[in-house]
């Protein structure tokens, strides 16, 4: 059976040109950004949006020459590096951003996503917990925290976080798909819950998954024996 949405694919979907927004804005470094840095960062954002990652990388590097301590530009630069597969370089920029602004939710989120993509699960869980604490309304942070919890075998925490992600964003296909997978992994599986969340994910644009569909069909055709406490619907 397929696992959660592949982290690499999810990273591509998650890193939008506006990824670095959503910071607390309380740090003095947010108060003034040189015009040159703003212009270069804006150009970098457009290049990023069009998939011109090498150009975006160059533009953000130039922007940082004018605003080397600016957290949003540092996080944007890190997002480009992640998309280029330069995870170590990305982490350096993210830690730099956090030294300037410890409450920067996007920095914690991307740091956790980077760790998750490299199977550094303890580090991922710790960073994503910080992301959720800094931005409790961020559905993406809850989704990735749920993924990290599942990796560690903490299924109750995983379900809680994935459900929270789906509640915060009713159009979040990945969270619904991940919930479907989680429910299918139960013993016995929660088939109806899995079917509902899988269908919701498909309705929201997730491609059909023959393995998941076969697993659901098999579970429906061969019902489990009388429900045990672990099979009770939440």
pTM of the predicted protein model: 0.84
Cα(216)–Cα(211) distance, integer angstroms: 9
CB 19 within 8 A of CB 90: no
Q: For the segment 143-173, what is each residue's pLDDT rounded down to a tens digit? A: 999 999 999 999 999 999 999 999 999 999 9
Residue 188: asked if its preceding bond is cis (omega within 30°), the reply is yes
Q: Where are the domains of the chain?
A: 7-169, 173-234
Tokens of residue 7, six digits = 């982290």
What is the predicted pLDDT for the residue at 39? 94
Cα(176)–Cα(180) distance, integer angstroms: 6
In the block, tokens 């429910």 appear at 183
Looking at domain 7-169, its CATH class is mainly alpha
In the block, tokens 């979040």 appear at 172
User: To the nearest whole number, what is the mean pLDDT of the chain?
Assistant: 87
Cα(17)–Cα(34) distance, integer angstroms: 20
């Amino acid at each position: 059976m397929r696992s959660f949405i592949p982290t690499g694919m999810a990273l591509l979907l998650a890193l939008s040109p506006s990824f670095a927004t959503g910071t607390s804005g309380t740090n003095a470094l947010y108060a003034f950004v040189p015009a040159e840095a703003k212009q270069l960062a804006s150009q970098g954002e457009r290049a990023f949006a069009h998939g011109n990652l090498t150009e975006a990388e160059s533009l953000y590097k130039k922007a940082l020459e004018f605003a080397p301590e600016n957290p949003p530009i540092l996080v944007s630069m890190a997002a480009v590096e992640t998309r280029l597969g330069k995870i170590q370089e990305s982490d350096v920029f993210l830690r730099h951003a956090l030294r300037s602004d410890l409450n920067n939710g996007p920095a914690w989120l991307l740091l956790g996503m980077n760790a998750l993509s490299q199977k550094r699960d303890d580090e991922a869980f710790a960073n994503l917990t910080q992301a959720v604490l800094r931005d409790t309304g961020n559905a993406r942070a809850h989704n990735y925290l749920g993924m990290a919890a599942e990796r560690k075998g903490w299924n109750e925490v995983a379900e809680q976080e994935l459900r929270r992600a789906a509640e915060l964003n009713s159009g979040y296909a990945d969270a619904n798909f991940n919930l479907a997978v989680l429910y299918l992994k139960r013993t016995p599986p929660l088939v109806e819950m899995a079917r509902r969340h899988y269908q919701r994910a498909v309705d929201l644009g997730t491609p059909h998954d023959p393995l998941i569909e076969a697993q659901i069909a098999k579970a429906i055709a061969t019902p489990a024996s009388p429900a045990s406490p672990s099979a009770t619907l939440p």
